Amino acid sequence: MNELDNLYMEIILDHYKFPRNKADLSHIADEYLHENPSCGDSLKLELVVGGDGKIGSVCFDGHGCAISTASASLMSERLIGKTPEEARRLIDVFLKVLRGEENSDSLEEWGDLMVLGGVTQFPLRVKCATLAWHAARKSLASCTE
């Protein structure tokens, strides 16, 4: 089951079992739920930009598989401290890599996040891995434009 281990790297399973920045976001209306229509996963995201113009906190809530949960968790760690502009750039690179439009080497400097590159070998899981990132992209669009 080597191939499977490429997908479910230890870091991913760790973030799945102990997700960072997962919080109860039931105060956010269901309208703002981000959904993956092809599988039923759904996610809420709260992204707060502080007075210093940097992202102060990223929280998520929802039901998802190991990949989507770990991806949200890893993303939340990564985005905190970035400016919205920087965050957008990061997200775009990540989405490109996952869509196969950019080499996964681009993730090499991303630390733990790199492990998500393995998802590209499982095309049907790409949507799981990108759900949180699409959600963040949308939140960032609405928070500054």
Q: Which residues bind other proteins (CB under 8 A)?
A: 1, 3-4, 7-8, 13, 16, 35, 37-42, 63-67, 69, 122-125, 128
Q: What single letter denotes the amino acid at residue 89? A: R
What is the bridge-based pairing of β-strands 34-35 and 42-49? antiparallel
Q: Which residue lies nearer to other proteins by CB, 110 or 122?
A: 122
Q: How far is the CB of 79 from other proteins (least distance, A)?
A: 23
Q: How far is the CB of 72 from other proteins (least distance, A)?
A: 13
Q: Which two tokens stand for residue 128?
A: 């799981």
Q: Which residue lies nearer to other proteins by CB, 39 or 80?
A: 39
Q: How far is the CB of 126 from other proteins (least distance, A)?
A: 11
Q: Which residue lies nearer to other proteins by CB, 33 or 80?
A: 33
C-alpha to C-alpha distance for 45 and 7, rounded to whole angstroms: 24
Closest CA to 7 of 145, 127, 122, 138: 122
Angle, alpha carbons 13-17-33 (nearest 5°)? 105
Q: What single letter denotes the amino acid at residue 92? A: D
Q: Which residue lies nearer to other proteins by CB, 54 or 134?
A: 134
Please provide the size of the chain in residues: 145
Q: How far is the CB of 98 from other proteins (least distance, A)?
A: 16
